[in-house]
């Protein structure tokens, strides 16, 4: 993390030429959320913001008011309005969501997520935006080689794999895959 935002998801989206959908927490706000979205659009105009999902909406009146503000003054598509929900089965802990392998009701949680998406999101528009993203190819970064340092220090990426939060680096995963497949 640095002041220039070089390690942000916005920078990654720019690097990959990917469209962005903002998910705005609308709990207890109306026009303030519109100002934050406007700020995101103007802060870095090279980020391709294509729409917004309004999250934790207070009710249909709140959603209607919010959508009107976004479509009118912001001219940004509202691709969903998800209400506040008390019965969401997504367990959390101090550092974030509990990973699927530890979640005792994963099927219930995934079913609920599918229901929420089907009921409250414009899946057709979201799919269209996702499909408009250009294909990412390995040769998009011809000057980078495995092991290159791209900043002050080399970065190791780990993948959480089990209930004890043991991790495996991509380097180990790749070498394990090679051992399994043979020469």
| Angle made by CA atoms 165, 169, 174, in degrees to the nearest 5 | 130
d(CA 20, CA 74): 16
- By CB atoms closer than 10 A (0-12, 13-18, 19+), residue 70 is buried
Give the pLDDT of the chain (183 residues) as one tens digit per residue.
Answer: 667 777 788 888 888 889 999 999 888 887 788 888 888 888 999 999 999 998 888 877 656 665 666 566 677 888 998 988 877 766 666 566 666 666 677 788 888 889 999 999 999 999 999 999 988 765 555 566 665 555 556 666 666 555 555 445 555 555 545 444 444
Q: Specify the residue for token string 């791209």.
A: 150
Q: What is the pLDDT of residue 179?
A: 46
Q: What is the pLDDT of residue 71?
A: 60
Interhelix angle 60-69/31-43, nearest 10 degrees: 40
pTM, two decimal places: 0.69
Q: Say if CB 70 and CB 78 are below 8 A apart.
A: yes
């Amino acid at each position: 993390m640095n002041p220039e935002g070089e390690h942000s998801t916005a920078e990654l989206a720019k690097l990959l030429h990917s469209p962005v959908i903002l998910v705005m927490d609308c709990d207890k706000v109306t026009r303030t959320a519109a100002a934050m979205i406007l700020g995101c659009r103007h802060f870095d105009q090279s980020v391709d913001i294509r729409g917004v999902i309004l999250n934790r909406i207070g009710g249909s009146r709140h959603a209607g008011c919010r959508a009107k503000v976004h479509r009118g003054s912001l001219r940004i598509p509202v691709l969903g309005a998800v209400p506040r929900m008390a019965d969401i089965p997504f367990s959390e802990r101090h550092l974030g969501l509990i990973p699927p392998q530890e979640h005792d009701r994963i099927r219930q949680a995934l079913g609920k997520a599918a229901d929420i998406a089907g009921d409250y999101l414009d899946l057709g528009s979201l799919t269209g935006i996702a499909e408009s993203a250009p294909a990412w190819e390995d040769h998009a970064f011809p000057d980078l080689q495995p092991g290159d340092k791209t900043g002050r220090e080399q970065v190791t990426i780990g993948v959480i794999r089990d209930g004890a939060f043991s991790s495996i680096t991509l380097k180990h995963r790749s070498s394990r895959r090679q051992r399994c497949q043979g020469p």
